[in-house]
Structures are given as C-alpha cells and as structure tokens.
Amino acid sequence: MLQSHRSDKLQSACFLISKQTAQASREMRQSNRSKNPASAPRKKAESFITGEPGSHAAGIQPDPGKKKSFADNKSLHVETRSDAFKDVTDAEIGNTALIRCRNLERVAGFRRFYLKFEGQNPTGTQKDRIAFAQVQDALRKNFETVTLATCGNYGAAMAFACSMAGLRCIIHIPETYHTARTREMTDLGAELVRVYGDYEKSVEISRAFAAERDCYDANPGDMNTALQLRAYQEIAFEIHDALQNAPGYVAVPVSNGTTLAGIYQGFLSLYRKGKTSRIPKMVAGSSYGKNPVISAFQKKLARCADLGPDQIRETPVNEPLINWHSLDGNQALDSIRRSCGWGGYASDQSMLRFARLMRDKEGLNVLPASTAGLIAFLDLHTKRRLPSGCCVIVITGRK
C-alpha cells in the first residue's frame, strides 16, 4: 500500500503543469503553424554558413559556434533554425573512426578486426546520432520541449542536442538508476524527473507526459523507429566507405535493438543498390539473461517475448544493456536471422576484462558494456573457428 501511494505521488509530481497551460501551449503552437511561412519576416541570408549577412562564399567551413547561435535563436524563422541545426549535425555527428586492431587480431587469432569507434561522437556513444535526428524533427515540427526516458547515454545525448538547438529537455529516469551521466545532463540544461519504477515505466510516463503537455516524444519505438533506423544506417554507410565493401561480420551491443537493426538496413540498402556484394552477418551481444532479443534468438522464438521484470538486476556495468522489453527487438531479431548472424550473452566480468584488454592492447578507453558484441563474436569463434575475414565491432567510449 505504501509503495502504491508512493508511486501515485511520484507519478502525479510529473504532471505539475495544469491542463489550461497545456491547452494554451497547443493553441500558441497551432497559431504559429497556421501562419504562412512566406509572409513571416525572414531575414535574408541570416547566414549560418559564415555568420555574416549575405555571405555565400563557396568552400568556407562554417564555425560550429556560429551555426549553434542560429539553431538556438528563437527569434529566427523555424526553417532557418532547422537548416542551421542540420549544419551542426553534419559537422559534429558521425564520421567516426574505423580502427584496425592488430593486437586484438593476434590475441583472438582472427585475420582482420576493426573497431567502429562511436566514442568520437560528442557525448561518447552512437546515441548522439538518433538524438540529433529527433531534435531535427522536433525543430521542423515547431516544438519547444522534448521529453524522453533514459538509463544514461541517450539522456546525455539528447541533453546535448537540445542545448545546441535551444529546446527545453525533460528527461525521465528510474529513481534507482544512479548513472554518473545525470550530472552531465543537468549541466547541459536538462530537467530530470525521477520515476518510481524501471526503465519501461519511465518510457510510459514520458509518453504520457508528451501527450498531456503537447511536447515532442523522443522515446524509442513506435513512430520514432523509422527515423532512428535511418540515423543508424549511416554507420553502415561509413563502414562501407572506409572498406570499399561490406565486412563479413558486424558485432553490436544490444539493448532495445535499434542500433543493430539500423546498421543491417544500411547494408541491405547498399546491397540492393549493387554497391556491395554481400550483407554482413549481424552479431548481437548483451548482458547475461537480461535481454529479450538474445533470449528470443537462443530459444528460437518467432518474436521477442518480454522477460520477467523481477529478473532484471542493474549493475554499474550492465546498465546500458538491460531491459525486459526491447522496443525495437523484433527488428533486431529479424536482422540477425536474415543475415545468418547470431546472438550471445556477456557477463559483467567478461565485459570488464575486454574493456581492460582494449585499453592495454589498443590504447582505447571503452565503455565495458559496449564490448558485449565483441564477446558474442569471440565466444563462437573460440568454439568453432569462424572463417577468416573482416569483422567490424561497434564500440563506444567511456565518459
């Protein structure tokens, strides 16, 4: 009874703004949208290209600080802000390094290993890709507030993206999660709402918050899946550009499954266009017994089945990976099977061990959880010596 009362209290605290205020916000936004953009006073060449009015000099690389000043300037036309933010995204997000790991090759006895080091994104993970895509969408649709749920990395990425666009960012996070990234989020101006419950409950409350307040819902799954998959396709395109072909394998750490599914769709697109002769086998890795995608693959289920919430236990190591409901799990499961790939588990101890290995052998400070895909690949390679070829491991930095 006490727990129920506490839950009701905390959830009620998430909805402090009155319905009248929300209605006024809707009416104001609808009024802004109804205006004819052509008649809106748009300063000619409020140039986010060079920062100087009327300048269109070819080949001049725009300064990110100047571009940001246009993206977050609410006095400018929404299209100008959106265009400026797109420029920020192009300059700051993606195009991460593909690093040959010769020392890892010697340890593992495999011909070619590459790391797709997503740690070079501004907040250290691939989540920056989808955060900037969602904020771009929010700007186009004239929202001023973005809401989402997080366990850490996505919240940091969204806080950063919103700060670059001048949008209010409200992040719902389970009260039991004490990721060090919460300080980073608040330093970037985000507002945190602690939720009594798990990550899935936080998503539910964040979505209800968005509907009630007419905010932009940036949570994974549902209507955002297609946009986020497109953002992650860029990882496949960058790998292909660097190698001039698709690798034999791509190993990815998996939580909701969106990253792996997006990368697979990127390679599928390249294959259909005749730009590569193959689609890599997709390898998924996650925390032992705590991910529906891996569970469904190993049990040979047709679709992902939710796990019992009581069997999910968070640790400082597995936190980025665990959930009992993978929001894009079925897309990830289909990607693994269609590519003839596989999925495997990684213990906290093995993830810590491989993070140390990457530091000692390759000089990279990586997030231990991001080694789960590598561990899943090497587990099978150890058992049956996979054909030599090229394996790309998607990995993130430790912030």
Question: What is the DSSP track for 52-95?
Answer: STT---TTPPPPHHHHHHHHT-TTS-HHHHHHHHHHHHHHHS--
On whether both 257 and 310 belong to a single domain, the answer is: yes
83 confidence band (pLDDT: 50, 70, 90)? confident
* Structural domain includes residue 84: no
Distant-in-sequence, close-in-space partners of 50: CB < 8 Å, separation ≥ 6: 57, 60, 62, 66
* Structural domain includes residue 23: no
What is the rounded (10 degree) CA torsion for 323, 326, 329, 332? -50
DSSP 3-state helix, strand, coil percentages of the chain (rounded to 5)? Answer: 50, 15, 35
Residue 47: the pLDDT is 30
On whether both 231 and 142 belong to a single domain, the answer is: no
256, 293 contact by CB (below 8 A) = no
Exposure string (b/e) for 358-397, b if CB count within 10 Å is 16 or more?
Answer: beeebebebbbbbbbbbbbbbbebeeeebeeebbbbbbbb
What's 72's DSSP letter?
T
**Does residue 58 carry a pLDDT above 50?**
no
On whether both 242 and 359 belong to a single domain, the answer is: yes
As beta bridge partners, residue 392 has 114, 250
CA pair distance 109, 134, nearest whole angstrom: 41
Rounded to an integer, the average pLDDT of 243-264 is 97
247, 114 contact by CB (below 8 A) = yes
Choose one of 165, 195, 223: the last residue of a domain. Answer: 223
pLDDT tens-place string over residues 173-215: 998 887 788 999 999 999 999 999 888 999 999 999 999 999 9
CA pair distance 312, 351, nearest whole angstrom: 18
**Does residue 36 carry a pLDDT above 50?**
no
What whole-number percentage of the chain has pLDDT above 70? 82
Q: Is the full-model pTM beyond 0.85?
A: no
**Closest alpha carbon to 146 in 161, 126, 125:** 161
146 confidence band (pLDDT: 50, 70, 90)? very high
CA pair distance 204, 213, nearest whole angstrom: 14
On whether both 214 and 305 belong to a single domain, the answer is: no
* Structural domain includes residue 115: yes
On whether both 212 and 234 belong to a single domain, the answer is: no
23 confidence band (pLDDT: 50, 70, 90)? low
CA pair distance 358, 197, nearest whole angstrom: 35
Q: Tokens 């950063």 label which residue?
A: 160
- List C-alpha distances in Å: 55 to 49, 50, 70, 77, 158: 8, 6, 15, 18, 31
On whether both 198 and 285 belong to a single domain, the answer is: no
On whether both 334 and 366 belong to a single domain, the answer is: yes
Residue 374: the pLDDT is 97
Choose one of 223, 258, 278: the last residue of a domain. Answer: 223
Q: For residue 350, give the 3-state DSSP assignment.
A: helix
* Structural domain includes residue 252: yes
Residue 43: the pLDDT is 35
Q: For residue 136, give the 3-state DSSP assignment.
A: helix
Rounded to an integer, the average pLDDT of 3-28 is 46
On whether both 160 and 252 belong to a single domain, the answer is: no
Q: Tokens 């269609």 label which residue?
A: 338
For strand 249-253 and strand 98-100, is the pairing parallel, antiparallel, or unpaired? unpaired
Q: 253: alpha, beta or left, given left = phi > 0 and alpha = psi -120 to 50?
A: beta
pLDDT tens-place string over residues 107-117: 999 989 999 99
- Token couple for 261: 């599914």
Mean pLDDT (the chain, rounded): 85
- Token couple for 55: 């300048």
Q: For residue 212, what are the domain limits?
A: 127-223
**Does residue 24 carry a pLDDT above 70?**
no
Residue 1: the pLDDT is 46
CA pair distance 262, 250, nearest whole angstrom: 12
Give start and end residues of each alpha helix (H) in 199-281. 199-213, 225-243, 258-272
What's 310's DSSP letter?
G
The total domain count for the chain is 2
* Structural domain includes residue 330: yes
* Structural domain includes residue 13: no
* Structural domain includes residue 266: yes
**Closest alpha carbon to 205 in 175, 227, 162, 167:** 175
**Closest alpha carbon to 210 in 219, 201, 220, 199:** 219
**Does residue 356 carry a pLDDT above 80?**
yes
